[in-house]
Amino acid sequence: MAIKEGDFIRLNYTGKVQETGEIFDTTMEEVAEKEGLKTENKTYGAIPIAVGTGHILKGLDASIVGMEAGEAKTIEVKPEDAFGVRDSKLMQLIPMAEFKRQNMKPQIGMNITLEGHTGRIRSISGGRVTVDFNHEFAGKTLVYDVEIEKIIEDDLEKIYGIIELQYPNPNIKPEDNEVKLEDGKVMIYLSEMAKFDNQVTYAKFRIARDIWDNMGIDRVEFVDVFEKKVNTEEEKDVEEQNSE
């Protein structure tokens, strides 16, 4: 069955810069380890996406339409469909005095954040620092090796996939939350860890929006359930010993 826009799938990919062959991102743990990209606490494996909804780069998204489960191919993504073309207006000259005021010693290659935008120092000359606020891969053609692991048909599996995609905390697993779908609404019972995670608060809207936009469901409820813990006799004995 050919994939169409709006379908939910699980996707494996490895992305590299065409001109250098540098691998910069992958869902494959063995590739990440080999390339020195492996990140602690990151969960590797095929990611869930809704095709054509902006979960991945525009050029990559469009090229997946028409593929089938189990199919693999290499996709070339032009700059305008990836991280954009380079913009000379995003190259800024900043006086060295500004860095001194902030007690910073600029170095070529250093990343800095200015007014919410991240840039990289390209050169230092004559008391001025050139900072490039273009995306690191702006102006570059990217090449992705992709494989469609599966097409997701089950609605509950789609919702768990959305939670997985939008959760900012890798220590909170989607399956730790209970999800119910009934009477045209989704109820998500948050795990104990999620209830007290500030990042999850901001993720709730993104999760709800994805469900609204991609599943035709208008109501999403996040439920915090607190149950009184009843200590066992053994736990009571330990507490009594600690209080003595």
As a residue count, the chain comes to 244
Pair (172, 185) in one structural domain: yes
DSSP letter, residue 119: E
DSSP letter, residue 52: T
Pair (55, 160) in one structural domain: no
Segment 128-170, tens digit of pLDDT: 999 999 999 999 999 999 999 999 999 999 999 999 988 767 7
- Which residue carries 């959760």 as its tokens? 167
Pair (102, 80) in one structural domain: no
DSSP letter, residue 44: P
Pair (72, 127) in one structural domain: no
Percentage, residues of the chain above pLDDT 90: 69
Is residue 193 within 8 Å of 171, Cβ to Cβ? yes
Pair (14, 123) in one structural domain: no
Each as own residue / partner, the long-range contacts of residues 128-132 (CB below 8 Å, 24 or more positions apart, any chain) are 128/93, 128/94, 128/95, 128/96, 129/93, 129/94, 129/95, 129/96, 129/99, 130/91, 130/92, 130/93, 130/94, 131/91, 131/92, 131/93, 131/94, 132/90, 132/91
Pair (80, 196) in one structural domain: no
- The parent domain of residue 105 ranges over 88-132
Q: Which of 83, 84, 74 is nearest to 15 (CA)?
A: 74
Is residue 96 within 8 Å of 169, Cβ to Cβ? no
pLDDT score recorded for residue 200: 77
Total domains in the chain come to 3
pLDDT score recorded for residue 38: 92
pLDDT tens string for the chain (244 positions)?
899 999 999 999 999 999 999 999 999 999 999 999 998 878 899 999 999 999 999 999 999 999 999 999 999 999 999 999 999 999 999 999 999 988 989 999 999 988 888 999 999 998 999 999 999 999 999 999 999 999 999 999 999 999 998 876 777 788 888 999 988 899 999 887 777 777 777 888 999 999 999 999 999 999 887 777 766 666 556 556 666 5
Amino acid at 89: K
pLDDT score recorded for residue 212: 94
Pairing label, strands 142-152, 72-77: antiparallel
CATH number at residue 172: 3.30.70.2210
Pair (198, 220) in one structural domain: yes
Is residue 7 within 8 Å of 1, Cβ to Cβ? no
Q: For the CA atoms of 187, 214, 156, 189, what is the dihedral angle to 10 degrees?
A: -20
